[in-house]
Chains A and B, each alone.
Chain A
Amino acid sequence: MQITGNYHDGKTTASLQAQLAVVPDQPGTVRVSFLSTTNPLSSSLDLLFSDLKIASRLGNIPREISFGDGQLFVTDDNDAVDDLIRRYSGSASRLHRLETNIPLILFSVVFTIMLVWAGVVYGIPASAKAIAFNLPGFTSEKLGSSLSVLDRTVFEVSALPASRQKEIRELIAPYLGYYQQLDPKLVFRSGMQANALALPSGEIVLTDDFVNLVKNDQELLAVFFHEMGHLQHRHIVRRALQGTMLSLMIVFITGDVDSFDLITGLPTLILDLSYSREFEREADVFALEQLARFGISPRHFAAVMARLEDYYTEQSKKSERADQQTLQSDGLSAKRSVSDFFSSHPATEDRIELILQYQKNRSENGLKGQTK
């Protein structure tokens, strides 16, 4: 058995054509013979097989066999090297056999897809929820955007008359008591178009455009309850945790940080947005429960949702920037022109559908209840 390859002496880049073969009458010995006649050293080297360090087989890459002080024999003949190994030590290239085993590869594909799917759909949301509700440290302002940062960047002092602010504070005040454990504080700001935001510190920010957009107190309360839903469910903290876990999962599975770039970034963004839409639905349900609790009709919620929709359609006609703003803000805003896939909020139609469904269920239950 002859293996043809190249020999490097480890001192310079020069290489010599060589052959590696088993020496028949000396057990455990292999011989590297040089084909070139100009070799200054000698015509061959005898080596013990046990002194050879043979790289594991990987795909079709050249096989490197090193020995002595940095000497190297390289060959493309992977099969012959495997035969050589088998001759002395039983089995060769176990990993390579796994990496070319079609049933195992198919199993790996199915297993990995299922595991990732389970992780993304169940594992990550569930563990983020557990962490957010069990570790008090995570509720501090250091996660998520705090009001002072927003004040420096996007917000300005509210231009609403003091009387209007006072009116709204008085409208909300009776309800704040019900959510004392969330420590909510009402804040007025201008900027960020018509928006309402819940910050992890408990601040509920209402923007001037939003206050001017609502037609009555019930609509304003509906949106207030939606934001309270975000606080109640610790959505900002959970979203930050889920984003981190998602990145960690990609790094863990693909095994290197390098692959975390533009290409893996896009699916991460899409998943992050789908988590966000789930949170919006959760906050909507919370708002509907609270409206029911205080005897306010959910149609006000549907009405304000539709109005925000019209507002943003109008805005996007005015400037393309509305697009980014709705995507970035966590507030209650809706947008249909971006497809559902790339939006941080569910489509308004779906949200209104949810409200109507809720209303219908409740009236059915209500009728049953009245027959007692």
Chain B
Amino acid sequence: MENNRAIQNQLNFEFRGNGMEYFKIWIVNILLTILTLGIYSAWATVRNRRYFYSNTVLDNTSFSYLADPINILKARVIAVSAFIVYSVVSGLSPVAGIAILLVLLLLFPYFLNKSLAFNHRMSAYKNIQFRFSASYKQAFMVMYVWPLLGMLTLGILYPLVFVKVNEYMVKNSAYGTSKFDFNAGYKDYGIIFLIMIGVGLLFGAIVWAISVFVPALAFSVPVLMAVIYFGLIVYFMVETSNLFYRSTILGEHGFTANLTMAGLAKVIITNAFFILITLGLYLPAAKVRMAKYMCSCLVMNAAGSLDTHAAAEKENISALGEQFGEVFDFGM
């Protein structure tokens, strides 16, 4: 494809964190969280996020995370109290429990919007904050309607679910006053799904043939199946990430990601191995390695300078939406 844009600047993302340095911060945060019976967890969350945002560097400038731990603590207290109330009520009267659950299900899209708005607002680059604003209907569609349609059509519409979710996330986001756009369609995700299904069936058939015709090798079948399964997951992560970034546009600027299966698989496998043999102590270093790898694959194709983006109007968004999202655990 020919690119007709103006002169492009290739700006690399870079992650400057260090596994050992982050480990120290992480373990002291855990100690303080335990000693304060969880209260410090709000500070720990902010410090963890600040570490990752501020070590992510683009064009020699780092991102930053701005949230005030006190706001997160307040929201956490409210969300946890609500969860306890819900548990107690549903234990005493299942009917009331179901009623509360239904109300919560209706509120979740609202909380999702608030949560994304809070996190975007608390993220900044070059002292300009990100923004997110979506309608209740949009959130409701991506949380409930599209996934349901994907299932009802036996997966035929599933690629469309990915399109809709990413459109919701990206098109409603802005950097200052510049809006993000997303231009991948059903076909782009459909091809990824088709290749996964095709390759999965092909390898599945080969393994089946081995188990039938070479019984001596049958013992290797579970291992082979696990390898194929892992390979497909990595393929999916690589292809959807690359597609996501190359389809995301910020004004005149575009992005490129070049994750590879070998690169990502190496990080995942070695991370899992070290986490296991260190009984979890490698977890912070593993996160740093993953961030380093992701950033090393990511390039911004800037058209001209990044110094012309303007800040948007200030608005206050509470952390409550985000915390409801975390406590009641609806992942996107």
Binding site for B on A (CB under 8 A): 6, 8-15, 55, 58-62, 64, 70-72, 74, 95, 98-101, 104-105, 107-109, 111-113, 115-116, 137, 252-257, 259, 262-264, 266-267, 317, 319-320, 323, 337
Binding site for A on B (CB under 8 A): 16-18, 21-22, 24-25, 27-34, 38, 41, 43-45, 47-48, 50-51, 54-55, 61-62, 64, 91, 125-128, 176, 211, 215, 218-219, 221-222, 225, 268, 271-272, 275-276, 279-281, 283, 286-287, 306-311, 326, 329
Query: Is the Cβ of A13 less than 8 Å from the Cβ of B27?
Result: no
Q: Quick one: given A62-B54, A70-B311, A257-B329, are A264 and B280 in contact (CB under 8 Å)?
A: yes
Smallest CB separation, B283 vs chain A (Å): 7
Q: How far is the CA of A61 from the CA of B18 in the complex (A)?
A: 11
| 7 A-B pairs in the complex with CB atoms less than 8 angstroms apart | A12-B308, A72-B127, A105-B24, A252-B33, A252-B38, A253-B30, A320-B211
Query: Is the Cβ of B47 less than 8 Å from the Cβ of A108?
Result: no
Chief secondary structure at chain B's binding surface: helix
Query: Is the Cβ of B54 less than 8 Å from the Cβ of A61?
Result: yes
Query: Is the Cβ of A14 less than 8 Å from the Cβ of B308?
Result: yes
Q: How far is the CA of A338 from the CA of B197 in the complex (A)?
A: 28
Query: Is the Cβ of A257 less than 8 Å from the Cβ of B326?
Result: yes
Q: How far is the CA of A127 from the CA of B47 in the complex (A)?
A: 32
Residues of B with C-beta under 8 A to A10: 127, 311
Query: Is the Cβ of B91 less than 8 Å from the Cβ of A137?
Result: yes
Task: Identify the closest chain A residue to B47 (Cβ).
Answer: A58
Query: Is the Cβ of A317 less than 8 Å from the Cβ of B215?
Result: yes
Residues of A with C-beta under 8 A to B283: 254, 259, 263-264
Residues of B with C-beta under 8 A to A13: 125-128, 176, 306-310
Q: Quick one: given A112-B27, A112-B30, are A15 and B51 in contact (CB under 8 Å)?
A: no
Smallest CB separation, B325 vs chain A (Å): 9
Smallest CB separation, B234 vs chain A (Å): 11
Query: Is the Cβ of A61 less than 8 Å from the Cβ of B62?
Result: yes
Kindly identify which residue among A8, A60, A95, A254 contacts B47, using a CB–CB cutoff of 8 Å.
Answer: A95
Query: Is the Cβ of A99 less than 8 Å from the Cβ of B127?
Result: no
Task: Identify the closest chain B residue to A64 (Cβ).
Answer: B64
Q: How far is the CA of A113 from the CA of B306 in the complex (A)?
A: 46
Residues of A with C-beta under 8 A to B32: 98
Smallest CB separation, B28 vs chain A (Å): 5
Smallest CB separation, A70 vs chain B (Å): 7
Residues of A with C-beta under 8 A to B218: 317, 320
Kindly identify which residue among B25, B128, B215, B329 contacts A58, using a CB–CB cutoff of 8 Å.
Answer: B25
Closest 8 pairs (CB-CB, A-B): A8-B127, A61-B54, A108-B31, A13-B126, A320-B221, A255-B44, A14-B307, A72-B127
Q: Quick one: given A70-B127, A254-B283, A256-B48, are A12 and B309 in contact (CB under 8 Å)?
A: yes
Residues of B with C-beta under 8 A to A61: 50-51, 54-55, 62
Q: How far is the CA of A309 from the CA of B21 in the complex (A)?
A: 50
Query: Is the Cβ of A104 less than 8 Å from the Cβ of B128?
Result: no
